[in-house]
Structure 1
Amino acid sequence: MSPAMNRSIRAELPLPRHRRRRAAVAAVTALATALGLLAGAPAEAATSRDAARAAGPVVTRAALDPQLVAGRGARVAFLEQEAENAVTNGQLIGPDRNAYTLPSEASGRRAVRLTPGQHVEFTLPAAANAITVRYSIPDAPTGGGITAPLDVAGNGKRIRTMTLTSQYAWLYNQYPFTNDPDAELLHPDWWITECSCVPAETTPYPVIQKPFRPSHFYDEQRLLLGRTYRAGDRIRLTVPAGSNAAWTVIDLLDSELVGPPKVRLLAANVLAFGADPTGRRDAAPAIERAIAFARRTGLPVYLPPGTYQVNRHIIVDDVTIEGAGNWYTTVKGREVALPTPAPDGSVHTGVGFYGRDAADGGSRNVHLSDFTIEGDVRERIDTDQVNAVGGAMSDSTIDGLYLRHTKVGLWFDGPMRNVRVTDNIIVDQIADALNFHTGVTDSLVENNFVRNTGDDGLAMWSEQTANARNTFARNTVQSPVLANGIAVYGGADNTVTGNLIADPVREGSAIQVGSRFGAEPFTGHLRISDNTTVRAGTWELNWKIGLGAIWFYALDRSIDARVEVTGDAYLDSTYNAVMLVSEWAVKDLYSISDVHFRDIRVDGTGTSVVSARTAGSASFQNVDARHVGAVGVNNCGSFHFTPAGSEFGLTDLGGNDGGWLADWQLPNTITCDDRPPVTPPPPPTPWTTP
């Protein structure tokens, strides 16, 4: 480790887990340049109309050929089409993996920029009657967002005009971020990399370019088309000539054939208890009356098609609540300021279905399915309980929900056991999509689709009490703006398997195993198997190094439980495929050991296959690599460079093809390059075995 890196790590202040208004022309110009929207920014010419039409519709998963990720991730009802593969007279932006730019937060790191009058047109690959559009439009000059129109046409005939909004996007500055693009530093005493200084020790006070660190640019919106369009039909998105948005970026379109609403006749229908399905009147009391009746009679609660206004938590225990389908039934609410802070520190409340507190015994036998929960969360306040689903729910199921615009989609505070979270879509969150927090055991998170979270996509956080025997299986996590796709912080005998994780943007990667945030130690086994990561591994701003697609981080204590990583595929990793690191301040106290990699495929790294910056050891068997950008093993150990060699040992168990390990002189030769040059790899291709 170089002296400069030593200083940067020591100067970095530890962050907590939960991660005026003057508009200046210079700031707007600087921001537009950073986002790649002005002339001179990296961009490609617009897609050729004739070439795109000749090629036909291009269906992707995580912006890749579906064959490359077959068998991994969530099975979903929609088909993904990236705007950069469609017909357009707009401008292609990207690719770019640098934080704080529009391309970096786009799926596949590319998108299409439209100005008023321009369009992008998609050819449907299959019959569809519904679409989802992922987009970005500018913020208001003083923050808070704007709205702007987008015309939708099918085969040349107008369907309707969508009203896009940036009111739930555009965060700025240091954690926990602000909606004010003109704000000064939120934490003047924190290290900021942009000036290579500790601001409190700098005279004069450092000047930051405003807006400072813009992020969280995208939002998405769904639309029922009113009829079924056939495969080969064209859906055109056009920015009207009179749009008040200077630009509209289209990232992708998902198309889907949605079935009819589900009807439940033998149920406590909330309409019978006075609920307003138009969304104009508060429906919470009526829903609570239906819940009370259902508990007495043993019936489920049914939410027919409609929008139900709920502006607070609905407490659920021993009840089943079903909607007509998440395209038809929406429970939607405003964020409401509390007159005084709640005992848990919340200063707002909002729409959410919550189990009882674990301290009060928690809830059991809760079953929520087939409806949408849409919140109104526009800022990150970590003490607020403004999550779509929360509390403690044992022996419960959450299935088929669509969760949007809340702080966290599902935040469970245990102890609790046996919850199954399946087949949900969780998008546009200010923080995590799901977090198992404190003593969640014997639970399953499977076949969920996550996109555009403001923190970890899926997390197990063993604070105070260990999580144990949980499984995250066959989920898709795309474009987490901050932190990791999937993170495991301590715990015992947990499993992460069959997931697809793509495009993390900053301060994290696809998969993290972290001894941090005050988590209980890892014990027993941690099994990580058959996952695929895509374009993962971000640039750590404070350390000034690139992370791995999977990275192990010893900060609070050693990681010495048995970790088995088998069957993973790390595709197009921005920096390393695997990284193991301990914090500089504790590098002589903690280590990472008993980690075993087997049957791994690495297709493209910007730097190394393995980067070790800690004491400890790992073994490798049948780890095949190609298109490696730098030295196969970058082994710095704990930076003592002893005559005996590196403090981190790699054990070759055989079958490691591609020369990445054989070229490294075993057993523990030091091959430390503090910041190796990056060589972008070619795009991933099918892996054939001789």
Structure 2
Amino acid sequence: MRRTLIAATVAALALSLTGPVAAESAAPAPVVTRAGLDPALVAGRGARVAFAEQEAENAATNGTVIGPGRDAYTLPAEASGRRAVRLEPGRHVEFTLPASANAITVRYSIPDAPGGGGITAPLDVTVNGRDRVTMTLTSQYSWLYNQYPFSNDPGAGLLHPDWWITECSCVPAATTPPPVIPKPFRPSHFYDEQRLLLKRTYRAGDRVRLTAPAGSAAAWTVVDLLDSELVGPPKIELLAASVLAFGADPTGRRDAAGAFDRAIAFAKRKRLKVYVPPGTYQIDRHIIVDDVTITGAGSWYTIIKGRETALPRPAPDGSTHTGVGFYGRDAADGGSRDVHLSGFAIEGDVRERIDTDQVNGIGGAMSDSTIDGLHLRHTKAGMWFDGPMSDVRITNNVIVDQIADAINFHTGVTNSLVANNFIRNTGDDALAMWSEKIPDTGNTFARNTVQSPVLANGIAVYGGGDNTISGNLIADPVREGSALQVGSRFGAEPFTGRLDITGNTTVRSGTYELNWNIGLGAIWFYALERDIAADVRVTGNDFLDSTYNAIMLVSEWSVKDLYAITNVHFKDIRVDGTGTSVVSARVKGSATFENVDARNVGAVGVNNCGSFGFPATGSEFSLTDRGGNDGGWLAPWLLPNTITCDDRPPVVPPPAPSPWRGGRR
């Protein structure tokens, strides 16, 4: 009975989010989007990708459109664009191809098993009513519950009953009588995606129909979007050490780890590349790489898969499991150099979050190295580097469906580049520089696309110096974070030198912080463990359709009188839509504003609480108007430090973003 009730509750999460059932209709013209928006609104931002994105809610369907909605722990909130289509068995959604394509990616959600662990269900794919192929969807890598570090069990009690939770506004373990906490508690991480090479190349205008067949084991199938792509032929390397020559099985039936090790050793002796031909290769442990080039036939053709495997005893680093991954040597052992990885996919088997486990797609320390054109999914973190290390170039990768981060530069990573990567559905910060113990310096995150990070931030910088965040597109963060964060937290070294945040676009950003019961800004600065006093330049960014504030500067209540945020400069900013204010200041300090234009602002332009001392002289946070701030949001009466503190004003959903007349100054 308990499992039946839990299953009914999980199903209700989707079934209650109903919209009108669409009537059967002719296939509309294709609507291609980027981050759920007209591509013209985000031109020049984010990754250049080979596929065309189409949202299911814009396609022809006899299913039900769910959303829009931004409340955490709901299916619409985790969907791209905050809407999707729910199909009951027998229902379909049909997309019109905008260009020739021979491959598709489907982002979807299906229910969990009553006791957790996931189910499988079919999804029929036809083109123009013919050439049916059945995809087998799974929820085995979805559906996490409860408090950090989460659980796969929908019936589990609170993992931390000694933590304050907003659901009862109490600490359950310290409350009499104890509160009744509904189960499943805080379900999340609903979506997964699958790729499919079609039987042939289809033309623009052909219709791809996705049908949840009658009799499906899934009571419902939610389709979020379809990406269509024209994939080129496999790449062939003739002058290379092929892993097949060393016994690798391209069918995936036999373990190939030893064959990869032998091919790498031979290639290093002969100064050759290692080539991994088309096929699926089973590897259930780390492959250690140093001074070697490994290339595949392309990420659609060369698939390296692995099962997560329990270790007989914990490793020295605390890992209790291992799994497929390419790792440089530990930094303590000198790290690896001259590693070049390209043209293959890594598919892991990580279904739970154990932070001590090294079950990442790429790991260790790699200097003077490149990682290009990989497709990573179902690992804990796509790439997690533990420095010191320098000069790594990470480009043109697709990283999806991660339990934690996509890419993290942890501890002393310097002079490195992350550019033109596409990231969707991470379980923690999508891109992060974390200067724990040793600062990250001289790094650049440029022209990446981040969509739907389920937890934390799209891009986060924790300490370090002379780093740059430029030209990125970040959309739809869900909870406990936002699009961009600058934070003195997690034991990070101080910010030094200059931090440039330039030419980025955020979309539908700013989440509700459950612990504080307030909304966050699309970009937020957080002084938790020390001052933020470096030269921070926020220039040429667009903040579109922010759920709450566009800009937030904040400290924790317990340290509000200790730390300040100063020397932050905002220039040439466009704010198109905020649910509340343009700026929310909940910390002592100061910032300057020049040519910050805002429209469709839901509340007073500046929510200035300072550090909550409310002195007669005004707020402890000051704003300097350097001119050109249009839209009436920075009125003279607000300057320099008028107290306007209202942390929880009514949220006014703004209209959808639209083109901005005129160019930048």
TM-score (ref. length: structure 1): 0.95
Q: Does 1:118 align with 2:91?
A: yes
Aligned to 1:31: 10
Residue 382 (structure 1) aligned to one of 355, 363, 377: 355
Q: Does 1:138 align with 2:138?
A: no
Shift of 1:102: 0.4
Distance (whole Å) between structure 2 residues aligned to residue 163 and residue 286 of structure 1: 30
Distance (whole Å) between structure 1 residues aligned to residue 124 and residue 147 of structure 2: 36
The one-character-per-residue Cα deviations of 1:533-564 (angstroms, maximum 9, x if unpaired) are 00000000010000000000000001000100
Aligned to 2:334: 361
For residues 337-352 of structure 1, what are the structure 2 equivalents within 5 Å?
Answer: 337-352=310-325
Residue 287 (structure 1) aligned to one of 255, 260, 285: 260
- SS of 1:203's equivalent in the other structure is coil
- SS of 2:252's equivalent in the other structure is strand
Aligned to 2:610: 637
Shift of 1:318: 0.1
Residue 253 (structure 1) aligned to one of 220, 223, 226: 226
Distance (whole Å) between structure 2 residues aligned to residue 22 and residue 171 of structure 1: 18
The one-character-per-residue Cα deviations of 1:229-269 (angstroms, maximum 9, x if unpaired) are 00000000001101010000000000000000000000000
The one-character-per-residue Cα deviations of 1:577-623 (angstroms, maximum 9, x if unpaired) are 00000111001000100000000000000000000000000000000
Residue 102 (structure 1) aligned to one of 37, 62, 75: 75
- SS of 2:394's equivalent in the other structure is strand
CA contact under 8 A between 2:7 and 2:113: conserved in structure 1?
no
For residues 317-336 of structure 1, what are the structure 2 equivalents within 5 Å?
Answer: 317-336=290-309
Distance (whole Å) between structure 2 residues aligned to residue 382 and residue 489 of structure 1: 18
- SS of 2:225's equivalent in the other structure is strand
CA RMSD of aligned residues (A): 1.1
Amino acid at match of 2:11: A
CA contact under 8 A between 1:576 and 1:606: conserved in structure 2?
yes
Shift of 1:270: 0.4
Aligned to 2:517: 544
The one-character-per-residue Cα deviations of 1:502-543 (angstroms, maximum 9, x if unpaired) are 000000000000000000000000000000000000000010
CA contact under 8 A between 1:633 and 1:664: conserved in structure 2?
no
Residue 21 (structure 2) aligned to one of 33, 46, 55: 46
Q: 1:633 to 1:245 in 2, by over 3 A?
A: same
Aligned to 1:608: 581
CA contact under 8 A between 2:606 and 2:638: conserved in structure 1?
no
Residue 653 (structure 2) aligned to one of 656, 661, 680: 680
CA contact under 8 A between 1:151 and 1:158: conserved in structure 2?
no
Q: Does 1:582 align with 2:555?
A: yes
Distance (whole Å) between structure 1 residues aligned to residue 173 and residue 22 of structure 2: 49
Q: Does 1:216 align with 2:196?
A: no
Shift of 1:566: 0.3
CA contact under 8 A between 1:150 and 1:240: conserved in structure 2?
yes
The range that moved more, 136-145 or 659-668, is 659-668
- SS of 2:649's equivalent in the other structure is coil
The percent identity for this pair of structures is 78
Distance (whole Å) between structure 2 residues aligned to residue 29 and residue 242 of structure 1: 18
CA contact under 8 A between 2:574 and 2:598: conserved in structure 1?
yes
Aligned to 1:401: 374
User: How many residue pairs were aligned?
Assistant: 663
Aligned to 2:274: 301
For residues 423-438 of structure 1, what are the structure 2 equivalents within 5 Å?
Answer: 423-438=396-411
CA contact under 8 A between 1:153 and 1:236: conserved in structure 2?
yes
For residues 402-481 of structure 1, what are the structure 2 equivalents within 5 Å?
Answer: 402-481=375-454
Amino acid at match of 1:32: A
Shift of 1:355: 0.1
TM-score (ref. length: structure 2): 0.99
Distance (whole Å) between structure 2 residues aligned to residue 445 and residue 159 of structure 1: 39
Distance (whole Å) between structure 1 residues aligned to residue 540 and residue 127 of structure 2: 43
Shift of 1:663: 5.5
Shift of 1:22: 4.0
Distance (whole Å) between structure 2 residues aligned to residue 230 and residue 89 of structure 1: 24
Residue 467 (structure 2) aligned to one of 494, 500, 518: 494
Distance (whole Å) between structure 2 residues aligned to residue 168 and residue 77 of structure 1: 26
Aligned to 1:129: 102
CA contact under 8 A between 1:74 and 1:475: conserved in structure 2?
yes
The one-character-per-residue Cα deviations of 1:632-655 (angstroms, maximum 9, x if unpaired) are 000000011111101000000000
For residues 485-524 of structure 1, what are the structure 2 equivalents within 5 Å?
Answer: 485-524=458-497
CA contact under 8 A between 1:131 and 1:222: conserved in structure 2?
yes
Distance (whole Å) between structure 1 residues aligned to residue 336 and residue 7 of structure 2: 49
Shift of 1:24: 3.7
Distance (whole Å) between structure 2 residues aligned to residue 176 and residue 639 of structure 1: 32
Shift of 1:668: 1.2
CA contact under 8 A between 2:373 and 2:398: conserved in structure 1?
yes
CA contact under 8 A between 1:486 and 1:511: conserved in structure 2?
yes
Distance (whole Å) between structure 1 residues aligned to residue 429 and residue 43 of structure 2: 24
Q: Which runs of 5+ in 1 are unaligned?
A: 1-20
Aligned to 1:11: none
Q: Which runs of 5+ in 2 are unaligned?
A: none
Shift of 1:470: 0.2
